[in-house]
Homo-oligomer: A and B are copies of this chain.
Amino acid sequence: METIQPTAAQGMQQMISQVLNSWEGQNKVVHTFFAKHADGISAQEVAPGRNRGIYLLGHLTATSDGLLPLLGFGERLFPALEDLFLKNPDRAFAEIPSFETLKQHWEKVNEVLKTNFATLTPEQWLERHTKVSEADFALDPSRNKLNVLLSRIIHQSYHAGQLAFLTPKNA
């Protein structure tokens, strides 16, 4: 059986699809974690003196929400989360949104991102993101939308590894 070589345009599409699948996969890991665990678990610190599960959920939601302006899709859906979960550490505020509210925000952000991601061609993933000027981008073409997505996949996995500690060891 002979393997059919894809054209370069198909190759680009294939690569982007795989990166998007990695993104979706990471979203699913976080979704599954918080769907499985009740409020009680999310209120615990992932390790002694470290962030609580609920803070990490807010942190990941606020980070993903920031992809909307960064990739040129529009404004943040939940701008209040930035102050609560990005600019300040856990426990900086006496009141934060409930676990249920944050889970809904998380799903909404991912849904809107997915819709917007689907509109980008592979070539557009290689275009600059909104925080880099045209001049700086000319100097470093890797400062593109794909790079932002790769770094967010890595960031999400980093925290998923920490969330895993809230699951009892022999569960």
Chain A residues packing against B (C-beta within 8 Å): 1, 3, 5-9, 11-12, 14-19, 21-22, 25-26, 46-50, 122-123, 125-127, 134-135, 137-138, 141-142, 144, 146-147, 150-151, 153-155, 157-162, 164-165, 169
Q: Within the complex, which residue of B21, B50, B154 is in contact with A142, where a contact is CB–CB below 8 Å?
A: B21
A12 near B3 with CB under 8 A, answer no
B161 near A14 with CB under 8 A, answer no
**CA distance in complex: A16, B150 (Å):** 12
The list of the 8 closest CB pairs from A to B, nearest first, reads A8-B8, A158-B161, A161-B161, A47-B47, A157-B157, A8-B9, A154-B157, A15-B15
List, in ascending order, chain B residues with CB within 8 A of A169's CB: 49-50
The smallest C-beta distance from A92 to any residue of chain B, in angstroms, reads 15
Q: A26-B154, A157-B154 are in contact. Are A8 and B7 (CB under 8 A)?
A: yes
The smallest C-beta distance from A150 to any residue of chain B, in angstroms, reads 5
Q: Within the complex, which residue of B5, B17, B138 is in contact with A1, where a contact is CB–CB below 8 Å?
A: B138
List, in ascending order, chain B residues with CB within 8 A of A47's CB: 46-48, 165
- A25 — nearest CB in chain B belongs to which residue? B154
List, in ascending order, chain B residues with CB within 8 A of A3's CB: 127, 134, 137-138
B15 near A165 with CB under 8 A, answer no
List, in ascending order, chain B residues with CB within 8 A of A154's CB: 22, 25-26, 153-154, 157
- Residue of A25, A26, A158 with highest tally of chain B CB at under 10 A: A158
- Residue of A11, A25, A49, A141 with highest tally of chain B CB at under 10 A: A11
**CA distance in complex: A25, B144 (Å):** 17
